[in-house]
Structure 1
Amino acid sequence: MTLVANRCRALIQPVLTVSLLAALTGCFVEREQVERFSGPTMGSTYTVQFVATNSTPPVEQVQAMVEAYLAEVDQAFSTYREDSLLSRFNQLPAGSCMAMPESVRHVTATALQLAAQSDGAFEPTIKPLLRAWGFGPGSQGPKHPTVDELAAAKARMGYQQLSMQGELLCKAVALELDLNSIVAGYAIDQLGERLQAMGVERYLVEATGELKAQGLKPKAQPWRIAIEAPHDNERVAQQVVTLDGIGVSNSGDYRNYYEEDGVRLSHTLDPRTEKPIDHHLASVTVLHESTELADGLSTLLMVLGPEQGYSFAKAHQIAALFVTRTESGFTAQGSPLYQQRYAAQGVEK
């Protein structure tokens, strides 16, 4: 009996050892799956996708961080709430200064840089002009302003009248600052840094249409996005590109427009002419390591138009895809850097 028992014990022990080893090994198998959540932000929506592993925080913790940060952005930059920092600054009279956090100073500095580079085609103090044309908070809808209304708006504009003195943001005239054309990109970049600080290293973040992707999805698959072709009533892919560490922003007038006496008028205003843009550029998409710059540059190039915009993109090494409206449809043209980096990834439709 003792010999049989020992033999049985000898047979059972390896089986138990193998079973225990398999169980322990299973505990350390790396889990990889894409988690996704979304919500409202900046008068639009946001979406976050990230690769969850055994070492990443729970999705609830990631979402809480994202929504808390976006609430901070809204409190600082919103032009739709009277208690935001920007709204409080805009209510100040000429010759006033206001202490601002680093985030507002940083975005303002970027906006002033783009304004200077484009000779005012990008204008962070455009808010009075938007109001004159019936756009923005409290407006009653698009309208054609009078000569006096345009003159009054112009008197309260000018990026040259805005300055920073240490932590102070100052205005020489009673201007109003509007950073909506750049702040979403900034917020996405900041969210990327915060995600990585939490241990989330692979993600795609989108807010108000701007987005950025970092790393690879499970099974080493890249993040792929479709650059949309300009159609009024449907969404059609112009080209599909892969992203890793790149932000994307698109500006276009193919949906944001109104008609007056049969004439199509864009919601995008040219601060230099004080009128809606009047050219054949239907949309422009910018891809850049900085989503903040991609956001601002897409607006800047949209204002400049197909010829000036292309020249600007070429001179400043910007990867941009221009889609121009023609009598027979739409034509696409990539800047030299866009052609070098992205044209080979897919056939433009």
Structure 2
Amino acid sequence: MQKMSSDPTRLSLHGPTMATRWSVLCDVAASIDRAALHQALAAAVEQVDQQMSPWKADSDLMRLNRAAPGEWVSLPPEIMAVLARALEIARLSDGAFDPTVGALVNAWGFGAEREDPDVAAIRVAAQAGQRPAHQRLDLDPAASRARKHAPLQVDLCGIAKGYGVDRMVAVLQHHGVAHALVALDGELRALGTQAGGQPWAVAVESPEPGRRAARGVLELADVAVATSGDYRRWVDIGGARLSHTMDGRRAAPVNNGVASVTVLAPDCMSADAWATALLVAGPGEGLALAQRMGLEALFLVRQETRWVEMGLGRFAQADAR
């Protein structure tokens, strides 16, 4: 059958950012300016990286981290929105999500300062992080500024990529796109369905180090999904594999048997942060937290030689394997 000029065209757009890649699949009118759309998407994620990267010395995040306690720091509205949501989820999760663990990330060798754990730095970071995050960082939305009450280091790696996905969705909507699947690393968001009405199919990854394999498939329409796990970045200490995700309450990497947590949410920023929070909380506390917050979540938990799946919402029918 001959393709009509009014039929949607499938575009595949992608580019580098945040030491990984972003990608967009979208069904659009043939007349759309592909170059302009690609440029706008790339600019959106670059702005997030420039504001929130702990690896860029001139980022807005690092300006805040270098500021003295008590000093107000003017910040762009985008990072203010992310900080506000990060502190809200920190409070709701009783500290399982903690955007102020930057010093711990560096002390354990996962940040920009060192590649191996430093015992003295870990001890200092642990002592500095004994108060909840929302009590150590003030936000003044009206003046678009923030201040610290201690020499803490903010780290938004558990939420910024999800926000980057949401920013790309906003760009697509601005350009009149109604059918798209947006991805940045392990964070994805479906804008509508495919043009033909079918949901977007995405894989739930099997949490196996060094191997990419699908464990299941999700069908998405107007929803975001994010996965946090311990199987991509870790350090080996005495034969124990320790995740790059920090449990600020223990001042140590996550080590609770949970291999990964996948969360569905209306926006990707929330899905990203809640996936991190539930991973840190662990199988018992995390499942109870997800139930209390009404989250749709899938936990993959290691038990000897098998994986056990625990799910809520559309994941509730998950079977032990």
After TM superposition, is the score higher than 0.5?
yes
Work out whether 1:63 is the aligned partner of 2:35: no
Superposed CA offset, 1:69-102 (max 9, x none) = 1221122111111111111111111111111121
Q: Which residue of 1 aligns with 2:107?
A: 132
Alpha-carbon separation, structure 2, partners of 1:255 and 1:84: 25
1:216 is paired with a residue whose SS is coil
Q: Which residue of 2 aligns with 1:53?
A: 29
More off after superposition, 261-270 vs 292-301: 261-270
Q: Which residue of 1 aligns with 2:11?
A: 35
1:218 is displaced (CA, Å) by: 4.0
Gaps of 5+ in 2: none
2:168 is paired with a residue whose SS is helix
- Of 298, 312, 323, the residue aligned with 2:289 is 312
- Of 271, 274, 279, the residue aligned with 1:297 is 274
1:290 is displaced (CA, Å) by: 1.2
Flag the 1:348–1:234 CA change in 2: closer, same or farther, 3 A: farther
1:348 is displaced (CA, Å) by: 8.6
TM-score normalized by the length of structure 2: 0.92
1:213 is paired with a residue whose SS is strand
Q: Which residue of 2 aligns with 1:14?
A: none
Alpha-carbon separation, structure 2, partners of 1:328 and 1:161: 42
Alpha-carbon separation, structure 1, partners of 2:3 and 2:260: 50
Superposed CA offset, 1:112-147 (max 9, x none) = 0111112212111100111111111131x232x32x
Alpha-carbon separation, structure 2, partners of 1:326 and 1:155: 33
Q: Which residue of 2 aligns with 1:231?
A: 208
Alpha-carbon separation, structure 1, partners of 2:92 and 2:41: 33
Q: Which residue of 1 aligns with 2:161?
A: 184
After TM superposition, list the pairs within 5 Å mapping 1:207-222 onto structure 2. 207-222=184-199
The answer (yes or no) to whether the contact 1:34–1:218 under 8 Å persists in 2 is no
Flag the 1:216–1:119 CA change in 2: closer, same or farther, 3 A: closer
Bigger fraction of residues in helix: 1
1:154 is displaced (CA, Å) by: 3.0
1:254 is displaced (CA, Å) by: 2.1
Alpha-carbon separation, structure 1, partners of 2:157 and 2:55: 11
The answer (yes or no) to whether the contact 1:215–1:244 under 8 Å persists in 2 is yes
Alpha-carbon separation, structure 2, partners of 1:77 and 1:200: 27
1:155 is displaced (CA, Å) by: 4.5
The answer (yes or no) to whether the contact 1:126–1:176 under 8 Å persists in 2 is yes
1:28 is displaced (CA, Å) by: 6.6
Superposed CA offset, 1:206-232 (max 9, x none) = 112211112222433321001112122
Work out whether 1:251 is the aligned partner of 2:199: no
Q: Which residue of 1 aligns with 2:125?
A: 153
Of all paired residues, the percent bearing the same amino acid is 33
1:256 is displaced (CA, Å) by: 2.1
Q: Which has the larger radius of gyration?
A: 1
Superposed CA offset, 1:234-257 (max 9, x none) = 222222111011111101112322
Flag the 1:28–1:277 CA change in 2: closer, same or farther, 3 A: closer
The answer (yes or no) to whether the contact 1:212–1:248 under 8 Å persists in 2 is yes
Superposed CA offset, 1:5-27 (max 9, x none) = xxxxxxxxxxxxxxxxxxxxx99
1:156 is displaced (CA, Å) by: 4.0
The answer (yes or no) to whether the contact 2:89–2:273 under 8 Å persists in 1 is yes
1:182 is displaced (CA, Å) by: 0.3
TM-score normalized by the length of structure 1: 0.85
2:44 is paired with a residue whose SS is helix
